[in-house]
Amino acid sequence: MPLPEDEQRQLQEIEQALCRDDPNFVRLMRATNPRVRYERKLKRALFGVVIGIGLLAAGAVTHRVYLEAAGVVLVLLPLVGAVVSWRRYAASVRPARSGAGTKTAKSTKRRPGQTRRARMMERMEERWRRRQQGNGGMPRRTRN
């Protein structure tokens, strides 16, 4: 729901006053923006890849194996870092998939902020309770 025009104007005036009064705080707040942080990481990774390609080319021209090895390392490491950074950014921007279509036990439904380990422990506790009630909570088999 968008803000009314007068409230948007007041908010912009407050932001401008804050920028004038405390530029260090504004710079710090912009630095903590995830999008800015991940863009910086991607730029650094791109720079590392370019340097690595240069070393790889220099090693190929001069027939120096150590330059080629350093070039390969400087190409691969930043690429891995960029992919990991991009995936973390994408995961923070996109909401996680909900398990609306899956059947779960009443006590094992996901709760916001609950870790995977906590959910696993909750499932194990539920299984333990069923075992204590008898036969693991499963229907008994009849022998013929």
Q: What is the pLDDT of residues 18-62, one digit of tens each?
A: 888 888 877 777 666 677 778 888 889 999 999 999 999 999 999
Using DSSP, state whether 101 is helix, strand or coil.
coil
Residue 144 predicted with pLDDT over 60: no
Question: What is the pLDDT confidence band of residue 101, given thresholds at 50, 70 and 90?
Answer: very low
% residues pLDDT > 90 (the chain): 24
Q: What is the pTM of this model?
A: 0.46
Q: Which of 13-27, 43-57, 101-115, 117-131 has the lowest mean pLDDT?
A: 101-115
* Strand ranges (E), 13-101: none
- Tokens representing 134? 């008898």
Question: Exposed, middle or buried: residue 103 (CB in 10 Å: 0-12, 13-18, 19+)?
Answer: exposed
In angstroms, how far is the first alpha carbon of the chain from the final one? Answer: 66
pLDDT (0 to 100) of residue 139: 53
Share of the chain above pLDDT 70, in %: 74
**Greater confidence, 55 or 136?**
55
User: Tokens for 18?
Assistant: 């804050």
Nearest CA among 84, 94, 88 for reference residue 34: 88
Angle at 64 between CA 60 and CA 67, to 5 degrees: 80
Contact present, 37 and 29 (Cβ < 8 Å): no
Return the pLDDT at 1: 61
> What pLDDT, in 10s, does the model give residues 87-96?
877 777 665 5
